């Protein structure tokens, strides 16, 4: 896939990011193509969250460009990027707990004006997650962890994204739910949405991804197909652990 001649949907061109004097991201280059499922792996403080924040415009890079479907959006605010088809399912879901499930979903479509499209998208989300429909008028804070994850994904899908960022989707979920969760991600991916996943659970992430990068102290140290990364000796040693099968 590295020989791709298509225009990337989302691109990092030589991104450098600083927090004050601290150099976080160092010459990072990333490209996500339409319909791909890619993952970014890395330990704590490797720069994963900063990567997501830079993609969304919550952090401005010192040098380099963020390119969304051929358009440089480095200096555009988050709302501009969301309108053009990029959104995120945040770590720990971060639903608006005092708002109802329905209101959470509606907020996902905050920038949209097409009422009919929104209604049909909501129906599709109900098909995907029938439980969400049952809980529609409940405050989202009263839902179980798995249900909240469904609402969080539904809320992101309501903006009709072309690329969906997922920040640590398996974090804070019961082990049984992690598997379900990855199945949901594949389901969304099968619908044609490109997915950029940031994960610590490298085994699980690589088992469903097309490609992956490994970030170490702000630098991309590995960039390969998921299959190649799964058997990569260095990665096996540091992230997958020797017993880590797939």
Which residues of this protein are in contact with other proteins, per CB under 8 A?
A: 56, 58, 78-79, 82-83, 87-88, 90, 94, 96-99, 103, 106-108, 110-111, 155, 159
Provide the minimum distance between the beta carbon of 103 and other proteins in the complex, in angstroms, as a whole number: 6
Residue whose CB is less far from other proteins, 31 or 56: 56
Q: Which of 27, 69 has the CB closer to other proteins?
A: 69
Residue number with CB closer to other proteins (31 or 105) = 105
**Residue placing its CB nearer to other proteins in the complex, 6 or 115:** 115
Q: How far apart are CA 53 and CA 49, in angstroms?
A: 6
Q: Distance between CA atoms of 99 and 223, rounded to whole angstroms?
A: 41
Q: How far apart are CA 96 and CA 103, in angstroms?
A: 9
Least Cβ distance, residue 2 to other proteins (angstroms):
31
Shortest approach of other proteins to residue 197 CB, angstroms?
Answer: 17
Q: How many CB atoms lie within 10 A of CB 148?
A: 23
- Tell the residue number behind the tokens 């490994």, with chain if given: 214
| Residues with Cβ within 8 Å of residue 38, at least 6 apart in sequence | 32, 194, 195, 196, 197, 209, 210, 211, 212, 213
Q: In terms of CB distance, is 17 or 140 closer to other proteins?
A: 140
Q: Supply the minimum distance, in Å, between the C-beta of residue 83 and other proteins.
A: 6
CB of 87 to other proteins, least distance (A): 7
| Closest CB 194 distance from other proteins, rounded Å | 18
In DSSP terms, 214 is beta-bridged to 41, 222
Distance of CA 103 to the CA centre of its chain: 22
Quick one: which H or E segment has residue 34? none
d(Cα 213, Cα 66) in Å, to the nearest integer?
17
CA dihedral 138, 142, 144, 149 (to 10 degrees): 70
User: How near is the Cβ of 18 to other proteins at its closest, in Å?
Assistant: 18
For residue 100, the 8-state DSSP code is: B
Task: Compare residues 24 and 220 and give the one whose CB is closer to other proteins.
Answer: 24
Element (H, E) at 51: helix 48-56
Q: Would you say 80 or 126 has its CB closer to other proteins?
A: 80
């Amino acid at each position: 896939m590295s020989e791709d001649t298509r225009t990337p949907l989302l691109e990092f061109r030589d991104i450098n990011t600083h927090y004050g004097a601290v150099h976080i991201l160092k010459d990072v280059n990333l490209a996500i193509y339409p319909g791909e499922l890619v993952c970014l792996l890395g330990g704590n403080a490797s720069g994963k969250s900063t990567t997501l924040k830079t993609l969304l415009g919550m952090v401005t890079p010192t040098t380099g460009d963020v390119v969304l479907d051929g358009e440089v959006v480095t200096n555009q605010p988050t709302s501009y990027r969301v309108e053009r088809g990029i959104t995120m399912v945040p770590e720990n879901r971060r639903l608006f707990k005092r708002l109802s499930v329905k209101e959470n979903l509606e907020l996902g479509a905050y920038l949209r004006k097409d009422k009919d499209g929104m209604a049909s998208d909501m129906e599709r989300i109900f098909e995907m997650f029938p439980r969400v429909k049952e809980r529609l008028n409940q405050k989202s804070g009263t839902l179980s962890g798995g249900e909240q994850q469904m609402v969080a994904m539904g809320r992101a899908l309501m903006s009709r994204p072309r690329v969906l960022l997922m920040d640590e989707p398996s974090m804070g979920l019961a082990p049984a739910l992690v598997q379900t969760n990855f199945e949901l991600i594949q389901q969304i991916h099968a619908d044609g949405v490109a997915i950029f996943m940031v994960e610590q659970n490298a085994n699980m992430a690589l088992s469903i991804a097309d490609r992956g990068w490994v970030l170490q102290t702000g630098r991309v140290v590995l960039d390969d197909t998921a299959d190649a990364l799964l058997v990569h000796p260095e990665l096996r040693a540091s992230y997958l652990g020797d017993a880590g099968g797939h």
